[in-house]
């Protein structure tokens, strides 16, 4: 669809810009303080888990999760917590290690382990020379920051509607300096994309030149669909088995957006050989994970079915917010040809693309008007969006009323920035 | 005192050994399964903190510690948790970061940070060539394992009755490859030594050749005295200020042996510049610490005074066990001249030294008789006790009855191994 502003002449654009600037001044006078920046659950959502806080008290059986929560021990996690984690991923609990509340920490530990000690008996990365890492983009900024911190070259890989560009991935892994790839296979951050079966199978069949290459399969949103129908994701370990492969994937998940982000459990699953290596790496740095949290989660959620039932309650809160985003963007920008945006069925974000060169300007103007958004470029390695188009909208935390107000501002700002860009080019 | 067995002739020794061997066979027939290996609180001790589990429930104010425990945020810890931690160390809360339950994890993260990124803007250790680390020995095996894991050369430093041999430390830090030292300044693991004011002052005045050298001051047992009178430890940051120094010390502590080892809070304190660096290092790997645990600890312990009051209850449980160790060892081995042992006023261990070449044999014989002890050599870097004399006795976990039975076995085994060694030398 053609950009409506690019079809206007200079006079028309000046008229339109003047009109939009007056709108912006009216917004400025409201002195807003709104926030669409953070992919975090709303208080309404975290309150869903308050009943969990009644399940452990001074009289509780502290061994109810298969081992005592009250003392040292169980570095792999309490048995029932491992069983819950494994049930959610459909893997053997023996191949799961449950750790603290953030799976990002386990991911850091494993990338770091590769850097300082090496993977599967191979030389540490720091002795091998420059390391490269594949970053489907737009993607999760905190993933990219881990590999950037360790001095690796983060290589962006284009994201399509069914996952990363696998032709590009297959080509890039022929370079033995490429040691890993960040993936969010379901309701990806920020695009909302669910990897197709074909993409999952191509990942499982990958032939990396580096024997110490691993796929970091961050299944952060595995139960976070908010439509009636869930979007199935092919199980990566089954796909690996079908491809006759092993020792290629670390899968991660956590309860961060299931219960309380500030107090939960996270876990990693891998092949028997890989999980043994993960265990030995964590044994040096960890004394053991937070075990009362694990016990509480087991008592509250029980199993995968319990998690799914709990997530329906989240969906009921989250879906109206995503619907509001879709409605407001369609009403305000539909048919103008200036922007596209995702229509996710799950996860925490809407991915928005404006005209080339618009994203930084839009986000800066929004901030100026009192509406905080994720920094433009944050979804790209190094914070550099090559076309400066992508903006991540995080609709879950604000109230519906605040979200609606913020989106009204957003629509006006997108139009103004788009019109100005067209005027500059005219 | 002369070793009694070394004064016997061969015939006397053979008679004595035969007698002790009959004693050992009697013990074997009991099929014991006892454990003096682990420095962990007994169930009686962890039960002291069960009331903490009643302090948070579904109706609680989850912001009571100065910020919400229910969502993301507060990567440095909840404000009231930082205040509690700072109060215990006598430092400014602004210079404290509270993290998960194990301070060892923070220590690992900081040593690792030096290795992969460098300290205070200096080159990462891995680019600087071989790194050395000072290890007062006997000491804590898990400290030594961290620096060993990263490939550093762990250099043992002799421990005296008032701390590490500071002449040796001052000499060794003149080597720019020496980047740190592990210290447990109060009720040291395993010797029970409290560093004297003189030793603390010499640490504060240290002139390391390496600008990226740091003292890892693990104040793990700061409130863990079990006698009526506490043993004062000079505050390292005050000593640093007196010496006109800064950016030299990371101090660590945790609630592991105050409440529940499986669920607590740990923290690091440092100079403003150092703590800013710690914060930025942790920001990459951590999303945030476990915050419900922090909230619970604040509600349960309140402040340093609350912690001290709680620790008196631990002391009442722990002291009889240490008294029993002292009594049994004195009754069984006193005056024989074969062994020496520590008489700590706090902490979790008694450090025992038998005849040269005896420790591995004693621990192996104990295991054979069903009594588990810490592996001989574990308290030395690389697990190698150069004289093979040191054994760590951990009396807190077993019941008094089990502890007494285990010590009776220990006394017999020490005598047998000592007599056999004398016989071999005769």
Q: Position of tokens 């048995």?
A: A79
Chain B residues in contact with A112 (beta carbon < 8 A): 112, 116, 285
Q: pLDDT, tens digit, for every residue of A338-386? A: 999 999 999 999 999 999 999 999 999 999 999 999 999 999 999 999 9
d(Cα A150, Cα B20) in Å, to the nearest integer?
59
Alpha-carbon dihedral angle through residues A165, A171, A175, A181, given to the nearest 10 degrees: 20
Does the N-terminal peptide bond of residue A190 adopt cis geometry, omega within 30 degrees of 0?
yes
pLDDT band at residue A64 under the 50/70/90 scheme = very high
3-state secondary structure of B63: coil
Q: Would you place residue B271 in the very low, low, confident or very high pLDDT band (cuts 50, 70, 90)? A: very high
pLDDT tens string B210-247: 999 999 999 999 999 999 999 999 999 999 999 999 99
Spell out which residues of chain B touch residue A262, defining contact as CB-CB under 8 Å: 68-74, 288, 290-292
Q: Could you tell me if A295 and A77 are in contact, meaning their C-beta atoms sit under 8 angstroms apart? A: no
Query: Per the CB < 8 Å rule, is A104 touching B263?
Result: no
* pLDDT score at A285: 87
Torsion of CA B105, B107, B110, B114, to 10 degrees: -120
Nearest to B276, CA basis, from B168, B119, B167: B119
Residue A100 has a pLDDT of 86
DSSP annotation string for A284-316: HH-S---HHHHHHHHHHH-SHHHHHHHHHHHHH
Within its chain, how far is the Cα of B143 from the centroid? Answer: 9
Instruction: Return the number of CB contacts < 8 Å for A and B.
Output: 161
- Count Cβ atoms below 10 Å from residue B121 Cβ, excluding itself: 9
Q: How far apart are CA B197 and CA A379, in angstroms?
A: 53
Binary contact (A262, B73; C-beta < 8 A): yes
Local confidence band at B413 (pLDDT 50, 70, 90 cut-offs): very high
Nearest Cα neighbor of B178 from B168, B163, B188 is B168
| CB nearest to A290's CB, from B69, B288, B293 | B293
**Residue A12 pLDDT class (50, 70, 90 cuts):** very high
**Cα separation, B121 vs B211, whole angstroms:** 10
**For the segment B334-387, what is each residue's pLDDT rounded down to a tens digit?**
999 999 999 999 999 999 999 999 999 999 999 999 999 999 999 999 999 999
Taking the CA of residue B320 and the nearest CA in chain A, the distance in Å comes to 21
The answer on pLDDT for B293 being more than 80 is yes
Closest residue by Cα to residue A211 from A132, A273, A129, A120: A120
What pLDDT score was predicted for residue A286? 84
Cα–Cα distance, A198 to A166 (Å, whole number): 10
**For residue A182, what is the enclosing H or E element?**
strand A178-183
For the segment A19-60, what is each residue's pLDDT rounded down to a tens digit?
999 999 999 999 999 989 889 999 999 999 999 999 999 999
pLDDT of the residue at B193:
97
B288, pLDDT greater than 90:
no
Confirm if A247 and A271 have CB atoms less than 8 A apart: yes
The closest CB to that of A53, out of B60, B142, B288, belongs to: B60
Helices (H), A29-93: 43-47, 79-89
Q: How confident is the model at residue B100 (pLDDT cuts 50, 70, 90)?
A: confident
More confident residue, B176 or B426: B176
For chain B, counts of helices (H) and of strands (E): 14, 13
Q: Is 80 exceeded by the pLDDT of residue B15? A: yes
* Average confidence (pLDDT) over B392-400: 96
CB contact under 8 Å between B46 and A70, yes or no, is yes
Distance CA B342, CA A222 (A): 55
- Residue B71's pLDDT band (boundaries 50, 70, 90)? very high
Please judge whether B149 and A117 are an interchain contact, meaning their C-beta atoms are less than 8 angstroms apart.
yes
**pLDDT, averaged across chain A:** 96
Chain A positions in Cβ-Cβ contact with residue B72 (cut-off 8 Å): 38, 40, 261-262
- Confidence class of residue A393 from pLDDT cuts 50, 70 and 90? very high
**Mean pLDDT value of segment A275-281:** 96
CA distance A241 to A254: 24
Average pLDDT, chain B: 96
* Position A7 confidence tier, pLDDT thresholds 50, 70, 90: very high
Q: Say what the pLDDT of residue B325 is.
A: 98
Q: What is the pLDDT of residue B384?
A: 93
Please tell me the distance from the alpha carbon of residue A364 to that of residue A358, in angstroms, as a whole number.
Answer: 10
Q: How far apart are CA A288 and CA B142, in angstroms?
A: 13
Distance of alpha carbon A207 from alpha carbon A54, whole angstroms? 49
- What confidence tens digit (pLDDT) does each residue in A210-238 have? 999 999 999 999 999 999 999 999 999 99
Which of B38, B56, B71 to mutate to probe the A interface, most A CBs <10 Å?
B71
Q: Is the pLDDT of residue B124 over 80?
A: yes
A147 prior amide bond cis, ω within 30: no
Check if the beta carbon of residue B268 is closer than 8 Å to that of residue B106.
yes
Contact B12, B385 (CB under 8 A): no
Instruction: Show the tokens assigned to B26.
Output: 């009697």
Comparing CB atoms, the residue among B52, B105, B287 nearest residue A285 is B105
B56 neighbors B295 (Cβ within 8 angstroms)? yes
Query: Looking at residue A426, what is its pLDDT?
Result: 80
Nearest to A262 among B43, B56, B69 (CB): B69
Beta strand pairing call for B214-218 and B153-160? unpaired
ipTM score assigned to the predicted complex: 0.95
Do residue A290 and residue B263 have CB atoms under 8 angstroms apart?
Answer: yes
Rounded to 5 degrees, φ, ψ at A15 are -60, -45
Q: What is the pTM of this model?
A: 0.96
Mean pLDDT of B252-261: 97
Work out the pLDDT band at B426, boundaries 50, 70, 90. Answer: confident
Q: Is the pLDDT of residue B1 over 90?
A: no
């Amino acid at each position: 669809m053609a950009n409506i502003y690019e079809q206007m002449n200079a006079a028309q654009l000046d008229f339109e810009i003047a009109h939009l600037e007056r709108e912006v001044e009216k917004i400025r006078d409201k002195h807003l303080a709104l926030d669409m920046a953070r992919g975090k659950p709303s208080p309404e959502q975290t309150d869903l888990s308050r009943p969990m806080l009644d399940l452990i008290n001074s009289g509780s059986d502290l061994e109810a999760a298969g081992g005592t929560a009250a003392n040292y021990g169980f570095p792999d996690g309490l048995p029932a917590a491992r069983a819950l984690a494994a049930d959610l991923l459909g893997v053997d609990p023996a191949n799961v290690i449950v750790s603290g509340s953030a799976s990002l920490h386990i991911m850091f530990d494993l990338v770091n382990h590769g850097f300082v000690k090496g993977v599967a008996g191979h030389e540490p990365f720091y002795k091998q020379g420059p390391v490269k890492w594949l970053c489907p983009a737009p993607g999760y900024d905190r993933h990219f920051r881990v590999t950037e911190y360790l001095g690796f070259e983060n290589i962006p890989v284009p994201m399509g509607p069914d996952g990363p560009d696998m032709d590009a991935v297959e080509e890039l892994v022929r370079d033995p300096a490429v040691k890993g790839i960040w993936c969010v296979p379901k309701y990806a951050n920020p695009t909302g994309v669910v990897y197709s079966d074909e993409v999952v199978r191509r990942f499982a069949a990958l032939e990396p030149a580096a024997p110490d290459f691993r796929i970091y399969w961050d299944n952060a949103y595995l139960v976070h669909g908010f439509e009636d129908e869930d979007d199935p994701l092919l199980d990566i370990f089954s796909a690996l088995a079908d491809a006759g492969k092993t020792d290629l994937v670390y899968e991660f998940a956590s309860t961060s957006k299931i219960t309380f982000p500030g107090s939960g459990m996270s876990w990693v699953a891998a092949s028997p050989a890989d999980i043994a290596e993960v265990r030995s790496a964590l044994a040096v740095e960890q004394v053991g994970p937070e075990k009362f949290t694990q016990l509480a989660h087991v008592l509250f959620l029980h199993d995968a079915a319990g998690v799914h039932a709990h997530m329906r309650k989240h969906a009921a809160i989250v879906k109206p917010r995503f619907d509001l985003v879709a409605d407001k963007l369609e009403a305000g920008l539909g048919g103008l040809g200036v922007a596209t945006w995702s229509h996710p069925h799950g996860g925490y974000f809407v991915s928005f693309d404006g005209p080339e060169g618009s994203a930084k300007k839009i986000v800066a103007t929004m901030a100026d008007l009192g509406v905080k958004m994720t920094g433009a470029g944050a979804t790209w390695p190094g914070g550099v969006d090559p076309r400066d188009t992508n903006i991540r909208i995080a609709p879950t935390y604000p109230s519906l009323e605040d979200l609606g107000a913020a989106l009204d501002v957003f629509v006006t700002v997108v139009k103004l920035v788009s019109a100005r860009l067209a005027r500059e080019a005219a």
